[in-house]
Every structure is written in C-alpha cells, then in structure tokens.
Structure 1
Amino acid sequence: MPQQNLSPYQCYSAFAMNPALLSYPEYADKDLEDPDYLNWFKKEKTWLEDYALFIVLKNSNEQRAWSDWDDAYKYRNKVALERFLHEHYVEVSAIYWQQFCLYKRWNELRAYAHERDILLFGDMPIFVAYDSADVWCNPESFLLDEAGQATVVAGVPPDYFSETGQRWGNPHYNWAKMQADDFSWWLSRIHNHLSLFDLVRIDHFRGLEAVWVIPSSCETAIEGQWKKTPGDELLAHLKQELGQIPIVAEDLGIITPEVNALREKYELPGMSVLQFSFDGFEDNPHKPKNITYDRIVYTGTHDNDTTQGWFDDQEKSTQAYIREILGIDANADVVDAVINQSLATKGQLVVIPLQDFLGFDTEARMNIPGVSEDNWTWQFAWDDIPEDLAIRIKTKLSETGRLITSDEAS
C-alpha cells in the first residue's frame, strides 16, 4: 500500500495490497464468519493483525508517523494495544476483510491469466519504508536508536541519474538480527510475493551484496559508504526451500564483480536497458550484440524517461548517431526501432512499457529518481489504446520468434 507520494517503494506494509485496487462495493459486505475468510486470516494473521492495527492507529493520529505517537503505542505496550484493538475492532476488522477481498480478487485475476498462458511479473523493493507496519512491529530488525529513529538510511552514490546520488531515506536492516533467526521475515516476504506473482524482480539487487549506508543527518547521499550484507546466505536459504529461484535481479547502476558473482551463483537473470546502449563503447553490456540469454531486456524502466522523451532530449548529433546505430533514416520511428531491437536480442524476456508502445513523450514518464514529488501519477486512458495495438504487438512477437503458442507454453 503506497504512502501519500504514491511511490510503490515507500509502502505502509511489505505484505498488504493497495486498497485502491478495489472499489468500495467489492468489499462492503463484510462477513467475518465466511469460511474462506477464516482460512485466509489464519494463514496471513502474522502480518495482517499488525498492519490493520497500524493503519487504524495512523488514522487516529492524524496520519502522523508511528515515531510521533504516544509512547504506549510507539513502543507497542501490550495492554495499550489490546485496549485500542477492543475499542476500534470494527475499523480494524474492516481492514482484515478489505485485504481478504483484495487477495481473493488478485488470485482470481492470476487464475484468469494462467488460463490464457499469461504469467504475472511482480516487483519487490529491497528496502521498506520507515513509516511502515514492518518497522513499527520489528524495530529490532532495523538500525534504529533508542528513540526509534533511523541512525543510517539507504540510497545510492552519485550515478547516471543524480550527481548527488539518491538519499531514499529507508532504514537499513539489522542483518545480524535477521541472520540470527534464519531470515524468517525475509523468507516470509519473498514467499508472499511468489504467492501473487510467477516471477519477481528484486529492485536494487546489489543491496544483497553491499548497501550504501548514509548517516541519517546527511541531506544527500554523497557522504555514504558501502557495507557488506549477507545476501549470499539469504539466497542459500531460499534456494534450499525453492530449488530454482524465480527472481530477476535488478543489477543496474554501480555493479561490481562481487554482485555479478552473487547473481550468477544463484542463476538469476539480470537486466539490460536499450536506452543505455548508445554510448559508443563496444563492451557496453546493454548493447544488443552483448546481451545474453540470462538478461531481461527493457527499452527503459520506470526510472527512465519514455523512449520518445529520452530521444527528444538528446542533442541533434546524438540523435543522428542513434538513428545510425539503429539502421534507420531520418523519417523512421525511433521508438518503434528500439522496440524491434529489444525484441531481436537474445535476452530471455523483453519488457516494453505501454508508454513506448503508444509512442508517448516525457509527459508520460513514470518516475524521476531523486525527485520526491509528482511521480507515479501517469495512467493510460482507454481512448489512448489504438484498436490495432494488440495485432501490432502480436506481429512483432511473431517476427522476432517471441510468440509462444499454447502448445509451446505447456
């Protein structure tokens, strides 16, 4: 469930679904005696009870962060929480029911997709938000001081996207504590995602090898430093439970040989982005000729501009160079050429944002890294979708050998 800035990387829970995905009539008729609900509640109560209590407490505290609540609630006094739950049970149980309806509808959607040989590809941020049920309920699993404030926060050093780096503000994990209980929270989180999706991308995968640790007093990410993390041990636990791990590693940015070795050890596909391939260097891993089967290929990710917006922002000489590399003349559609080149690579999967299929410019950009306002607001309208779009996509897949029939899928 995203917070007020709408970022899916700053959520009130790593487990709860976004209530905005349902309209009120779909969960209005609460029935806490429904057998399906009772079975689901028993399975999910570990996170659900705390999440619902957290949301109702926020509502009762004018949406203030949990660290600004009265000490009895901030530090989870058992008697105070039991009394609050008793007084607000109608509101809390309404959230139980709402989440049940969300999960039920999602599972129906997933079943509908599977009947049509469609798999769902999800996304999991490596960090959680400070103002979340996860941190409030498990403060010992994060690097916090006695007042509950983060001592260090997450981000990345200066890179392609930002000269001062990115200070995300998420608290860092207390990895020693998580190791001590065999990563139970992490494993529960991953299993939860895999119950909703067939394949999951871990955002900032390099954080499972080392993280950029920024003192919480610093306003930018420049003063941070790298700290090792026990991701190898976590992935070993996961492999022992699952065998093949259905996870994609987001390995963009500052990637070291150690990060590559970790990804390769567990046979996780990485990512290649075509917008990054036009720098003139032959060894650029994003160049189509260098893309291998163990890559998921994107024209651009949610952090990139749309391909049209990206191209429009280039100097005229760079635009001419891009056209030359793509092998198209001045009248050809650059976005269409980038899409075709993505599909023609050896990467095992290709991800093309809808904005690119529609040829939209920077006005349809999803996110600008390092900027906290006015992101995550773009939505398509059905009037934006040409009647022949599905046929055009199918034709492209067929021409590049990526059209999988039902017989092949089975």
Structure 2
Amino acid sequence: MQTRRSGILLHITSLPSHYGIGDFGPEAYRFVDFLAASGQSVWQVLPLEPTSSFCGNSPYCTHSAFAGNPLLISPDLLVQEGFLDSSDVAGQPVFDNERVDFDRVYPLKYHLLQKAFEKFAGRQEMDYEFNRFCEANADWLDDYALFISCKRNFHGAGWNDWPVELRDRHEPALQEWQGKLSRKVVAAKFFQYLFARQWTALRKYCREKNIQIMGDIPIYVSLDSADVWAHPQIFKLNEEKRPNFVAGVPPDYFSSTGQLWGNPVYNWDVLQSRRYDWWIKRIEHNLDLFDMIRLDHFRGFVGYWEVPAGESTAVNGEWMAVPARDFFDTLLRRFPYLPVIAEDLGTITPDVRETMLAYGFAGMKLLLFAFGDDLATNPYVLHNHTQNSVVYTGTHDNNTVKGWFAKEASESDKDRLYRYLGRSVDEENIHWELVRLAMMSVAATAIIPIQDVLGLGENARMNLPAAVHGNWSWRLKGDLLTAECEQRLLEMTRTYGRI
C-alpha cells in the first residue's frame, strides 16, 4: 500500500462489448493491456454485485453482498468455453455504444445465460468444478440462490412480503420452496459459477501484467437482499422484519434535510456478540476477489446516523456509536495484512481520523475539492497531501474534470487553480493539468477516472447522486484508447515515479 503507483478507475459495465454492456470478455483483456502499456498498476472497479432496475441499476444497491452480477458474464467467453454455440450469439441486436440500455440488456443477457444453463443442466451432477464451487461457497450461495429464485417466483416482491413461514425462514418452508424451485435454484448457482470462473481468469491475467485490482465495499446492504433475509438478527428490524431504523447522513452545508438512504442499519451489539462473523466472511470474500478494497462511507464504521423508520427526511436522526476498535482489532487478527482504503470524504470528525491513523488506513484526496477559498489549508490541495493516501482527480460520484471546469467551477475557483498552477489553462487541456497534479502528489497511489484521462465532458460522468434516472450507464468507446493517449500517460507516470 506504500508503493508509489498509479491506476485507472473504470467500472466493468463501461467497457465496450457487442451485448450492450461491458463484461469480462475480450475488451476487458484489451483494457488490461492498455493499463500495462501505459505504466499503470491499479485497476479500480465499482461493486460487482447484482444490480436491478428497481434501484436504478446502481452497483451500490444490490440483492446480495456476496453474489456476482450475471450481466458481467461474457457470452463470447461462454462460446470459447463451450457453454454456448456460436449460433447462440449470432444476430444480436445493435446497441448504443455510449450508453447502457439496461431495459434491453437484462432480457438479452439472461436469455443467453439460460441457454447456457439448458446445455449444462443435464451434466451438473457430474461436473466436478461446479460442485466444488457450490460446496466452497455454500455459506452464502445457498441462501442467495433460494432468495433470488423465490423473488422471481413472487414477481419481484420483497422478501418481507412473502408468506410468513418463508419470510421467517421456517425450516419446513425452506425445504418446500427449495424443492418447488430446484431447477431455478441450480440455475442461479450456475450463473454465479460462470461469474466466478470468468472473473478468476481475468484477475489471473491482471496479475500476469502486474495489475492489482481495487474493489469497493458499500457499508450498507439493501433491505431486499439475501443478506437481510438470511441474517435478520444483525439488523435493527421489528417483528415483521421491517426496519426500526434506517441509514443516512445528517443535514450539512450541502443539504438542509440530510440524506435518507433507507438501508437497514446494523445491530452492532449483536454483531459484537458474534465476533463480527458476517463482516469477517464479507471481508474474506472480497479479499478473494480483489487485491485491495475501498470501504465506502468509512465514517459509518466509527459512528453512524440512525433515522427512525417512516421519517421523510434525515433531520430527526441520531449519532450512534460503533465498537470500532474492537471491530478492527478483530478483523486484523483474522487478516493481519488488511489492504483498506477508507472513503473519508465529506465532514469527518476527529474520532474517525484517529481510527484511520491507529490502523494505518489510507484516506482519499480529491483534486476537484481542492480549489475553494481555503486553498492554503484545504486538505485536498496538493501541498497538504500525505503519503498514506490515494489521490483522485474525481470519483464516480463527481463530474468529469472537463465537466467541472465548464459547468461547476466558479471564476474564483478557476483563479485559484491558475495561481496554483502558475498559469492559465482552458477547457481543452484542464484534464491533463489535474492528471499531472495527481501524479505529482506525495500520495502513494494516484487513481484517475478514465474519463479524465480522455478529457471527456459532463455527458461521460458515471453518477449524479441527486438524479433518479440515467446514472451508471456511461460506456467507453473502444477507439478512444489510442496509442497517443497510452504514450502520454506512460510518460507522465514515468516522470513522477509511479512506474
């Protein structure tokens, strides 16, 4: 974590492909080649768990904290591996190569996956690798496969609206529905097997190219998830399995009513009494997937904002303490080397800083936040960075550098930026100037969203947190990764000692 290096932020769904959404197929390997050729050694991705249209296709709102997103499975690789025939993928519809049309992608991808399952179904009991995968992952896979099969059977209804016996996981009801939906349950497991198989191969290729992968763990899980259904006791729920309290953040400079996220909050007393077994399994699972992990909303591991269920805003909440030291001590006993990046953006209190310092967790520095009227003391400006941190131009929640400069930066912000750089810049070269600042930083790791490497405008931003629709859909056009771009990034990476 202290090695001087740099990398690119690009989510899998944004990769080019013929199927309307990025996947683990040939373009993912091509992108790894681009990373290696341009001197990068880190590929940061967003959460890989299943998404749904109900949550606006956000990778931070998912039906499982452990399962992989079947949309990321490559049909082209399924043909190479013999799970599909070439005729199965012939004659596919033409998709927009700049946006993911999730409403069209979901049915196409699941149609192809179902075809693969039909070819496989007759030999599942004899397939050693599949059965070994199911056995090795049974502690989460069995619950997830039954959960997602029941959810489809009940036409998408949330698990707390299922028949009471099934909602409350009475053993006879579980056995009954396991039998009724046995084929769908096996199919769900098979899709997870394909996901793991392709991801493992891609990660192996990354290692061969000396590329490490940074994953992302959202602190909270969705109410309508296999995790809450299977482990209701570790969340603050009532007798009907609905939240007593939900997560959010309090009012601040940016919002007079705070943010009401709606996720169920953890019952940390129960987690502590169980020695954080669920969290240990979650961390272990992610360390099997990634080389390092970013903990989203890190301040929630020290203290979190709890809002009574039914409130329309986050105003009437309360700060609740978390046994942070006991929790992280327990994690470190299980994982002596814990490669964690703490998402510490926003208003961070001293106890959060003390926890990060005590455990040596790297924080985040965003250059888009650096040029306010507190320039000299701003923690995000270059001269206030520390080695144990990760510097970004921006993240998936921000505008692109070019979009920020054109639409969001005030004239005063620009003036401070010019004075810091020692010269004026314009919209056409601002992205390379901030990339250069990130590379110059003393921070051990520099991560640049691919949009900022390419100098793309606000239409290329990944997420606008205030927007309900249109997020998470940006796609990279493959012809933008030119030899010229590769060489310029390589030279800058070499100049600032990040090779």
Match status 1:362 vs 2:458: yes
User: Take 1:161 and 1:373, find their aligned partners in 2: how far apart are those partners?
Assistant: 21
User: Take 1:307 and 1:162, find their aligned partners in 2: how far apart are those partners?
Assistant: 23
**Which position in structure 1 is the counterpart of 2:390?**
296
Match of 1:305 among 396, 399, 408: 399
Match status 1:8 vs 2:102: no
Match of 1:122 among 190, 196, 215: 215
Match of 1:339 among 427, 435, 446: 435
**Which position in structure 1 is the counterpart of 2:328?**
235
Match of 1:319 among 414, 424, 433: 414
User: Take 2:347 and 2:323, find their aligned partners in 1: how far apart are those partners?
Assistant: 18
The answer as to whether partners of 2:372 and 2:413 remain within 8 angstroms in 1 is: no
The AA in structure 2 aligned to 1:341 is L
SS at match of 1:388: helix
Match status 1:219 vs 2:312: yes
**Which position in structure 2 is the counterpart of 1:283?**
377
User: Take 1:159 and 1:310, find their aligned partners in 2: how far apart are those partners?
Assistant: 22
User: Take 2:316 and 2:52, find their aligned partners in 1: how far apart are those partners?
Assistant: 27
SS at match of 1:120: strand
**Which position in structure 1 is the counterpart of 2:423?**
328
The answer as to whether partners of 1:294 and 1:347 remain within 8 angstroms in 2 is: yes
The answer as to whether partners of 1:162 and 1:370 remain within 8 angstroms in 2 is: no
How far is the alpha carbon of 1:177 from its aligned partner? 1.0
Match of 1:146 among 226, 239, 260: 239
**Which position in structure 2 is the counterpart of 1:408?**
none
Match of 2:149 among 36, 56, 71: 56
* Greater RCO structure (CA 8 Å; 6+ sep): 2
User: Take 1:159 and 1:350, find their aligned partners in 2: how far apart are those partners?
Assistant: 29
User: Take 1:231 and 1:317, find their aligned partners in 2: how far apart are those partners?
Assistant: 40
The AA in structure 1 aligned to 2:322 is T
The answer as to whether partners of 2:236 and 2:243 remain within 8 angstroms in 1 is: yes
User: Take 1:217 and 1:402, find their aligned partners in 2: how far apart are those partners?
Assistant: 50
User: Take 1:137 and 1:180, find their aligned partners in 2: how far apart are those partners?
Assistant: 18
Match of 1:97 among 190, 197, 201: 190
- Structure 2 vs 1, CA of residues 230 and 55 (structure 1 numbering), >3 Å: closer, same or farther? same
* Cα deviation digits, residues 256-286 of structure 1 (max 9, x gap): 1100111111111111111111113222111
* Cα deviation digits, residues 63-83 of structure 1 (max 9, x gap): 111112221222222212211
SS at match of 1:170: strand
* Cα deviation digits, residues 296-324 of structure 1 (max 9, x gap): 00111111111111111223343233222
**Which position in structure 2 is the counterpart of 1:45?**
138
User: Take 1:87 and 1:395, find their aligned partners in 2: how far apart are those partners?
Assistant: 60
Match status 1:244 vs 2:244: no
User: Take 2:224 and 2:254, find their aligned partners in 1: how far apart are those partners?
Assistant: 26
**Which position in structure 2 is the counterpart of 1:349?**
445
**Which position in structure 2 is the counterpart of 1:406?**
none
- Structure 2 vs 1, CA of residues 357 and 163 (structure 1 numbering), >3 Å: closer, same or farther? farther
Give the total of aligned pairs: 403
Match status 1:88 vs 2:181: yes
The answer as to whether partners of 1:323 and 1:334 remain within 8 angstroms in 2 is: no
- Structure 2 vs 1, CA of residues 24 and 112 (structure 1 numbering), >3 Å: closer, same or farther? closer
Bigger Cα displacement from structure 2, 184-193 vs 280-289: 280-289
- Structure 2 vs 1, CA of residues 372 and 167 (structure 1 numbering), >3 Å: closer, same or farther? farther
The AA in structure 1 aligned to 2:272 is Q
How far is the alpha carbon of 1:370 from its aligned partner? 4.1
- Structure 2 vs 1, CA of residues 168 and 398 (structure 1 numbering), >3 Å: closer, same or farther? same
The AA in structure 2 aligned to 1:154 is A
**Which position in structure 2 is the counterpart of 1:394?**
490
User: Take 1:15 and 1:160, find their aligned partners in 2: how far apart are those partners?
Assistant: 35
How far is the alpha carbon of 1:24 from its aligned partner? 5.1
How far is the alpha carbon of 1:241 from its aligned partner? 1.6
The answer as to whether partners of 2:373 and 2:413 remain within 8 angstroms in 1 is: no
How far is the alpha carbon of 1:365 from its aligned partner? 1.4
Match status 1:260 vs 2:353: yes
The answer as to whether partners of 2:250 and 2:305 remain within 8 angstroms in 1 is: yes
User: Take 2:196 and 2:469, find their aligned partners in 1: how far apart are those partners?
Assistant: 29
The answer as to whether partners of 1:302 and 1:366 remain within 8 angstroms in 2 is: yes
SS at match of 2:221: coil
- Structure 2 vs 1, CA of residues 345 and 390 (structure 1 numbering), >3 Å: closer, same or farther? same
Q: What RMSD, in angstroms, separates the aligned Cα atoms of the two structures?
A: 1.6
List gaps (5 residues or longer) in structure 2: 1-49, 84-115
Bigger Cα displacement from structure 2, 248-257 vs 34-43: 34-43
**Which position in structure 2 is the counterpart of 1:204?**
297
User: Take 2:323 and 2:398, find their aligned partners in 1: how far apart are those partners?
Assistant: 30
Bigger Cα displacement from structure 2, 118-127 vs 313-322: 313-322
- Structure 2 vs 1, CA of residues 162 and 373 (structure 1 numbering), >3 Å: closer, same or farther? farther
Bigger Cα displacement from structure 2, 258-267 vs 16-25: 16-25
* Cα deviation digits, residues 14-52 of structure 1 (max 9, x gap): 000000011457251434222222222111001001101
SS at match of 1:221: coil
User: Take 1:163 and 1:57, find their aligned partners in 2: how far apart are those partners?
Assistant: 40
User: Take 2:395 and 2:258, find their aligned partners in 1: how far apart are those partners?
Assistant: 18
TM-score (norm 1): 0.94
Match of 1:21 among 72, 78, 103: 72
